[in-house]
Amino acid sequence: EDQVTQSPEALRLQEGESSSLNCSYTVSGLRGLFWYRQDPGKGPEFLFTLYSAGEEKEKERLKATLTKKESFLHITAPKPEDSATYLCAVQADSSYKLIFGSGTRLLVRP
């Protein structure tokens, strides 16, 4: 069964304190791995799609990497406005639907 596990569930950082979020997955065949940011009561905001092991993508203070078993979302020098829930999702090659993990709630303190 296709499955996504994210860790940690919650993360508190001081402003400027870099860290990484983990997304472990098992999928029959990976079409793509997606990262989203979600603010409370809002829709998930698309960040990245990664397709193959070794791929990396960056956007401002965020960098996503992918291996055959997991993905990392690295946050460099975070700011309070980076506080949100970060969702990881996989798309199997048998379907276009996204299978989400439970997310990591990030709080960045000034």
Query: Residue 41 or residue 54: which is nearer to other proteins going by CB?
Result: 41
Q: Is 19 in the site for other proteins (CB under 8 A)?
A: no
Q: Is 9 in the site for other proteins (CB under 8 A)?
A: no
Q: Which residues contact 10 (CB under 8 A, 6 or more apart)?
A: 104, 105, 106, 107
How far apart are the C-alpha atoms of 85 and 11, rounded to whole Å? 10
Q: Which of 19, 22, 24, 49 binds other proteins (CB under 8 A)?
A: 49
How far apart are the C-alpha atoms of 9 and 62, rounded to whole Å? 18
Query: Residue 78 or residue 103: which is nearer to other proteins going by CB?
Result: 103
- Tokens 């029959």 correspond to 28
Residue ranges that bind other proteins, judged by CB under 8 A: 31-32, 34, 36, 41-46, 49, 87, 91, 95-103
